[in-house]
Amino acid sequence: MSALEKVLAWPARPADSYGLALWTAAEIADAVGGTASGPFQVSGVEMDSRDVRPGDLFVALKGESTDGHAFLDKAFAKGAAAALVERPVDWPHVLVEDTTKALAALAAAARERCAARVIGVTGSVGKTGVKEAIFVALERSSRGAAHRSVRSYNNHVGVPLSLARMPGRAAYGVFEMGMNHAGEIAALTAQVRPHVAVITTIAPAHIENLGSEEAIADAKAEIFAGLTPGGTAVIPADSPHSGRLRKAAEAVGARVLSFGRAADADVRLLDAVPVANGGSLVTAALGERRLCYTVAEPGEHWIANSLAVMGAVFAAGGDLGAAGLALAEMGGLKGRGARHRVAVPGGHALLIDESYNANPASMRATLAQLGHTPASRRIAVLGSMKELGDFAPAFHGQLAEPLAEAGVDYAVLVGPEMSALARELGKAAHNPLGKALDFDHCEGPGEAIAALEEFGLVGGDAVLVKGSNSVGLARLVSHFAAREG
């Protein structure tokens, strides 16, 4: 059979008979129990008027401090086709009593009508990157019939919004789920109802609210409660909490697929060697199979992430070959590993953007990768790690060791929580040569920009920017990335 004949003979699916519109007025009204102003069709769903695209349904959500109804003019000016509202308006709309509840109902209808294989992803570190990698793998093998939550839409509003956006024709859906407190993932997984639930890792993120890593593991394991009958839990075999996660998965009747370096891992790392672009060539075992693929993203953490991706794709019935190709082609995400080649005196500097999130585990992982990055000088711009509570001084101070191990020449510390690290870095003992590390401690991103400008980047420098999103280091990244070339 020729290639063309194979394409033409691609098996038809029941979903192929669905309309091309994401939702019609009648479908929305029926799903949410509302009243449509008249017939219309929408091609997307959006809750932020700034992000509305032509053809979208704008959901006018009411929050504690904002009311989406105040932004209806802007939404329709940007091309919204209709709105979900709590009071009659002059534009095409569906009228409901509560737009937040209506969005949840629309999400439930989207999940119910779609026969897609659904994958849920959570974890203390790496969930957005793993979610994106699973998506690109499944999108490649399904000829574009995969859907996923965008950005970090992983909370009580982002998850139903992402579900409401899922086309009835989708063959796969990949959804990220986050939490700050116990019970939050349980509510989200009940909406997503995944066939495959992935936990990337357990680390002391949000420990301020949960008190211990064991409690964090239990909160993440809530994702298994939403698994469909016969579903699969994908868990990290190398985690000290692996047994705890396995027990939680088995308690709901899930099949367990573990990944990691451990001898009993189901997706087991056999070998990983560096490749020229900074990534890794990975060899892994999956039962009797041997998988060999390239991971474009640098770092030991991405080797582990790739094993989770392979486990999830396998559990979802996807194409492992396509997954390998996707991992080889993935570039860094904005705020999560994106790399910029910045023009500076003497050539170019490498700017590594990890400004979206930070916790003790991810800080150590990215600093270790900086240490393996070829550079004439290594510079670390580190923002405070949030939601650590009483543990914050200890966790921040402990970053002195990975900074020294990475061979960092200069550090810019940003935020009040970094005072503990500043004290540690003032001690000569934390430098292999017995000399205190050169650093500046800044209040915010504006001061950090000035400190880095005064220090002076030159050709051959490698700069890591890492911190919790609320610190605002994306501003520093934008400032220097504007010189990309």
DSSP 383-417: EPPPS-GGGHHHHHHTTHHHHHHTT-SEEEEESGG
**Residue with structure tokens 């940003």?**
414
Question: What's domain 114-329's superfamily in CATH?
Answer: Mur-like, catalytic domain (3.40.1190.10)
- List of long-range contacts for 14-23, beta carbons under 8 Å, 24+ apart: 14/115, 15/114, 15/115, 15/168, 15/169, 15/170, 15/171, 16/169, 18/167, 18/168, 18/169, 22/57, 22/165, 22/167, 23/57, 23/106
12-97: CATH topology: 3.40.1390
pLDDT for the residue 432: 52
pLDDT for the residue 278: 77
What are the structural domain ranges in the chain? 12-97, 114-329, 338-481
- Cβ-Cβ contacts under 8 Å for 121 (sequence gap 6 or more): 127, 130, 131, 134, 174, 175, 176, 177, 197, 198, 200, 312
338-481: CATH topology: Protein-Tyrosine Phosphatase; Chain A (3.90.190)
Tell me the percentage of the chain whose pLDDT exceeds 90: 78
Q: Which residues of the chain have pLDDT under 50?
A: 433
pLDDT for the residue 431: 52
Chain centroid to CA 355: how far? Answer: 13
